[in-house]
Structures are given as C-alpha cells and as structure tokens.
Chains A and B, each alone.
Chain A
Amino acid sequence: MTSQMSVDQTVSYTADEMMTVSAARALRDGMTCFVGIGLPSSAANLARATHAPSLVLIYESGTIGAKPGQLPLSIGDGMLAETADAVVSVPEIFNYWLQPGRIDVGFLGAAQIDKFGNINTTVIGGDYRSPKVRLPGAGGAPEIAASCREVIVVVRQSHRSFVERVDFVTSVGYGSGPGDRERLGLTGTGPKKIITDLGVLEPDPETLEFTLTGLYPGVSASAAKERTGWDLAIAAEPEIIAAPGPAELDALRRFQGTLARSHQ
C-alpha cells in the first residue's frame, strides 16, 4: 500500500502505517498479548516501544514476555527466545497458557473475515478439495480466537476479504450471531475490533454484526462501504481517529527499517 495521506503539511504517512498505529493503540500497558506474525506483530511491538512498555508479548513458538529489539522475521526468530522471560514447549503454550484464559488479548490477521468476525485462513473459492486458493491453514488462530479474553483483528479492507460469510470458518468470531459463542462453549468474549487500513469496526452490542465506528482522517464512510462485501452499517457519528504522531511514526519506521535490513 503506497497511497499517501496527509493531515497537515508536515506529517505524511501511508494507510498501512495508520493501520498499524491504530492497532498498537488498542493495546494497553501491562496487558498480556498473544501475537500473530505480520501486521499484528508490527503493531504489538510498536505498542511496546511507545505507550505500553510493560506489554507482555506471547508468541505461539512458546516465547513468553519476548522483548525483541527489532521485528522478528518469524514466530521462531531466535531473538524472541533470547529476550523472553520464559520459553516453553508448544504443547505447554497452548495447554497451560492459552487454554485456561490467562491471556488478555489475541491479536490476529485474516485472509477473509465476515460480518460476525469469523476468520478464514484455509481455502478460498471452489470447494475444500479443489479450492481456488489454498491458504496456509489454521496455525494457532482457532484457539487464540476461542480462548483469549478478547480478540483484535488487523486486516486490510477490501471487497474480496470482507465478505458476508467466510468460505471456511477457520477461527470463530461470533458464529452466526448472538448466543453462538456461549452455545459453542468458547470461553473468551470474542473479537472486539477489526482494525483496517480505512478505520475501525466494532460489533453492534445487539446484533454483534461488525459496524464501522471509526475512520482515519481523510477516509469517507462511503469508501469503507465500497470496500466491504456486506451491507456495512455505519455508526451514527464515526469517530475520526487521530493521525499517527511523530513518536509513533518514528518508532514504527525504525522497526520497519530493521526488518528491511535483516531481509537483505
């Protein structure tokens, strides 16, 4: 995403940077956070480098309290193990740490997401045995979505990825509506925010359908509607989310710089 937005004459930033900053702001200091790789990892590390220095980062590779100085290349990056408070086995991270509901927030990405926050990372199009696109699969996401106290999803918004109903339910949001999580015995409270490159969606308290509640500066509600595959409801007065501050942008770009360098 290279489109530039600008709030004033001095600060310009990309839509992806706005999304990452917005996602980082959703994390509060002292929280425990189960982090997926990619956009969620960038945002969680940004939060720790700015307003949430005591954020506890937990990766499914078994690293608890990782404090990487740069963005990890993968969930198994040695830097995570070397900076962690504890390193545990994979069965242990899921059974002792995630499953009992010890972790405040699960931070997930998605290839496809629907209006009830269900996530697909398995197959798109065709049928399961002969899909149009074979995606990587579940990884740790189904249990993160089930067991973290709450879930935040970070995903770029498009008509193709924001669909009425996902092609495959890899990880459950609110299922097909109110009561489903309770009926399924899912212990966490489910997805609280979908943070995109246009704004923020939150579940309607009654219907649990994701509704646009926040927009980035310069983004219109109609643009968000156009890039959504369901008839997106818009809050009465969507919040205009503050543009990234200089400290946030500096920290983010420093991280992205270290990632780019380690890729060389």
Chain B
Amino acid sequence: MAEIVSLAEAVERAIHDGDTVAMEGFTHLIPFAAGHEVIRQRRRDLTLIRMTPDLIYDQLIGAGCARKLIFSWGGNPGVGSLHRFRDAVEHSWPVPLEIEEHSHAGMANRYVAGASGLPFAVLRGYNGTDLYGLEGPTIKPITCPFTGETLTAVSALRPDVAVIHAQRADQSGNVQLWGITGVQKEVVLASARSVVTVEEIVDELDARPGAVVLPGWTVSFVARAPGGAHPSYALGYSARDNDYYVAWDAIARERGTFTRWLDEQVYAVPVGQS
C-alpha cells in the first residue's frame, strides 16, 4: 500500500545512487519537482530512462546525476536542442554520459514488456535503420512461431524506480491521472518501486473521462507537490509555462549560466518550491 510522505522522504527512501530511474510524462505531467529533489539530494551514477528527455533530464544530466541515458527523443519541444545533454554527449561535461537510444515505439513496447512481466516485446520496427545495429544488445530479430515471419524483439525495461506526476490521489494512495497519459501506467507497473507526486490529495476520486487509475497497492510513495509538473502542464490544474522552455535555451547554453541557475533555483530552494 502506498505511503503518503513528503517529497524529500519519498526521494530519499526510493532512489539511491546507481539506481535505474524512469521519470515519465509524455510532454504532459512531467515530474519536475521530483527531478529537482533528486538533484538537491545529489544522487549520482543514475541510469536515467525517459522517452522524451526534455528539460527535466537536461537539468539532471547537467547537475551530474546520470551516468547513462536510455531514451528515444531528446530535445526542448518546440524550442530546440538540449544543451546540457549535448555537452555531456559531445564533451563529457560534467561527467561522461553513456547513451542507449531507441524509437518511441520501441521504448513504449519495452515498458509494456516490463509491466507484463515478460523479458521482451515484439513489434514491426527498426528494420533498415542504423539503430538496429547500434543497439544490438536490446534489439534482435525474432521469428514468429506461427507464420515464420521475421519481426523485431526489444528487451524489457524494468527500472528500479518509476517517478511520475499525477493530478490526484486519495488518502489510501490510489492515484488518478487523465488527459495525455503517455506511458505512466506502464512505467509504474514495470518498476520495482515508484514515487508519484500529485497536485492534490482528495477524500474521494470521482470519475474522470479517460482517466488512468493506479491502485494504491501498485505504488510505493505518494507525495503532494502542487505545481510539481511546472513548467510542463497538468490538465485541469495548470498550463504549460512556455516562457520557461524558451528561457531554458539561454540558461542551458553555457555551463556558467546553468551552474548559477542550479545554485539559485534548485540547491537554494526548499523542497517543492523550485
């Protein structure tokens, strides 16, 4: 059963140096507050997984939390490049970053396999691309036992910890999210532990169209973090702060401005307020 704790306690108890951590949220409900808490607690040598490592992973990578990134699209959506990610890949700053890259379909299926308790998933994909040879250990051909057709197998993702942001939870830790729900259900079910930050904790979860509900017994920790998806948006609560995405380009471009940002906006800020 999920424990309802502070964000600082959830991160401290769930995420350890060297863990494989997947923070998901497909451009919506991105768990920024939790990411900042990971930076603040100075976790190191993490293998970070995320389909779309946008600003949140640019910040974690720039802060030196990661040794490896597993992803399918790394950019600042609607704006441009991730400068901290590029600096790590191109110049090993602040530490070298190993990368493993896939397509969105491949990553989504790897989470599905993890959630399903299977070692791999099957899809039509990767044939003819240079990703195939590059990521040989996680992408292999497989013959259909019924038709003989050659398909593609991708290995399961089984993170140590899933981190997501949702709109609401109730007092028992049942979690509800709606709108664009991405791979959040899959990542929580694929992971050994999970941290879910929520906009609010309510007495009762009333029905919402298209909502995903994660029963409290599938979640390790729930922490209240209003605005915890900022600058991304939380449908029904807050809009995307596009100025932040645009401003990030200039902040992240130089190591100096980034380091100042980190000091002023993360390390110096109390939990839940960055």
Asked whether, in the complex, the Cβ of B74 is within 8 Å of the Cβ of A91, the reply is no
Give the CA-CA distance A143 to B150 in the complex, in Å: 16
Residues of B within 8 A of A181 (CB): 128
Residues of B within 8 A of A122 (CB): 101, 130-131
Q: With A185-B150, A187-B124 given, is the CB distance from A81 to B108 under 8 Å?
A: no
Main secondary structure of the interface of A (DSSP, over half): loop
Asked whether, in the complex, the Cβ of B186 is within 8 Å of the Cβ of A91, the reply is yes
Give the CA-CA distance A131 to B101 in the complex, in Å: 15
Residues of B within 8 A of A82 (CB): 179, 235
Q: Which of B213-272 contact A (CB under 8 A)?
A: 232-233, 235, 239-240, 242, 246
Give the CA-CA distance A130 to B97 in the complex, in Å: 12
Most buried by A among B78, B101, B112, B125: B78
User: Nearest-CB distance from A116 to chain B (Å)?
Assistant: 11
Give the CA-CA distance A141 to B246 in the complex, in Å: 24
Judge if A31 is at the interface, Cβ distance under 8 Å: no
User: Nearest-CB distance from A254 to chain B (Å)?
Assistant: 19
Taken residue by residue from 40 to 77, chain B's Cβ proximity to chain A (1 for < 8 Å, 0 otherwise) reads as 00000000000110000000000000000001111101
Judge if A221 is at the interface, Cβ distance under 8 Å: no
Asked whether, in the complex, the Cβ of A146 is within 8 Å of the Cβ of B180, the reply is no
Residues of A within 8 A of B85 (CB): 134
User: Nearest-CB distance from A186 to chain B (Å)?
Assistant: 6
Residues of A within 8 A of B186 (CB): 89, 91
Asked whether, in the complex, the Cβ of A76 is within 8 Å of the Cβ of B73, the reply is no
User: Nearest-CB distance from B187 to chain A (Å)?
Assistant: 10
Q: With A76-B27, A78-B240 given, is the CB distance from A134 to B128 under 8 Å?
A: no
Judge if A172 is at the interface, Cβ distance under 8 Å: yes
Asked whether, in the complex, the Cβ of B108 is within 8 Å of the Cβ of A94, the reply is yes
Give the CA-CA distance A81 to B112 in the complex, in Å: 22
Give the CA-CA distance A141 to B134 in the complex, in Å: 17
Q: CB-nearest residue of chain B relative to A80?
A: B180
Q: CB-nearest residue of chain A relative to B27?
A: A76
Q: With A78-B179, A139-B73 given, is the CB distance from A91 to B78 under 8 Å?
A: no
Residues of B within 8 A of A187 (CB): 124
Q: Which of A104-155 contact B (CB under 8 A)?
A: 122, 128, 130-131, 134, 136-143, 146-147
Give the CA-CA distance A110 to B109 in the complex, in Å: 24
Q: With A78-B235, A89-B181, A138-B103 given, is the CB distance from A61 to B127 under 8 Å?
A: no
Asked whether, in the complex, the Cβ of B125 is within 8 Å of the Cβ of A143, the reply is yes
Give the CA-CA distance A143 to B82 in the complex, in Å: 24
Judge if A222 is at the interface, Cβ distance under 8 Å: no
Give the CA-CA distance A158 to B108 in the complex, in Å: 34
Asked whether, in the complex, the Cβ of B126 is within 8 Å of the Cβ of A142, the reply is yes
Q: How many chain B residues touch A (Cβ–Cβ < 8 Å)?
A: 55
Q: With A73-B240, A170-B130, A180-B128 given, is the CB distance from A89 to B102 under 8 Å?
A: no
* Cross-interface CB contact of B179 among A60, A73, A81, cutoff 8 Å: A81
Q: CB-nearest residue of chain B relative to A138?
A: B103
Residues of B within 8 A of A90 (CB): 26, 51, 104, 108, 182-183
Asked whether, in the complex, the Cβ of A134 is within 8 Å of the Cβ of B86, the reply is yes
Judge if A169 is at the interface, Cβ distance under 8 Å: yes
Q: With A78-B233, A143-B103 given, is the CB distance from A170 to B131 under 8 Å?
A: yes
Asked whether, in the complex, the Cβ of B129 is within 8 Å of the Cβ of A140, the reply is no
Give the CA-CA distance A259 to B183 in the complex, in Å: 28
Give the CA-CA distance A60 to B38 in the complex, in Å: 29
User: Nearest-CB distance from A241 to chain B (Å)?
Assistant: 28
User: Nearest-CB distance from B209 to chain A (Å)?
Assistant: 9
* Cross-interface CB contact of B123 among A77, A95, A175, cutoff 8 Å: A95
Judge if A37 is at the interface, Cβ distance under 8 Å: yes
User: Nearest-CB distance from B54 to chain A (Å)?
Assistant: 9
Residues of A within 8 A of B206 (CB): none
Residues of A within 8 A of B149 (CB): 185
Give the CA-CA distance A141 to B106 in the complex, in Å: 11
Residues of A within 8 A of B127 (CB): 146, 172, 184-186
27 inter-chain pairs at a CB distance below 8 angstroms, sorted by A residue, are: A61-B26, A74-B240, A75-B27, A76-B27, A78-B28, A78-B180, A78-B233, A81-B28, A81-B179, A89-B182, A90-B26, A90-B182, A94-B108, A128-B134, A136-B74, A137-B74, A138-B72, A139-B52, A139-B73, A139-B103, A140-B104, A169-B128, A170-B130, A172-B127, A172-B129, A181-B128, A263-B242
Beyond the given A169-B129, A171-B129, A172-B128, please list 4 additional residue pairs across the A-B interface where CB-CB is below 8 A. Answer: A74-B77, A81-B180, A87-B210, A139-B103
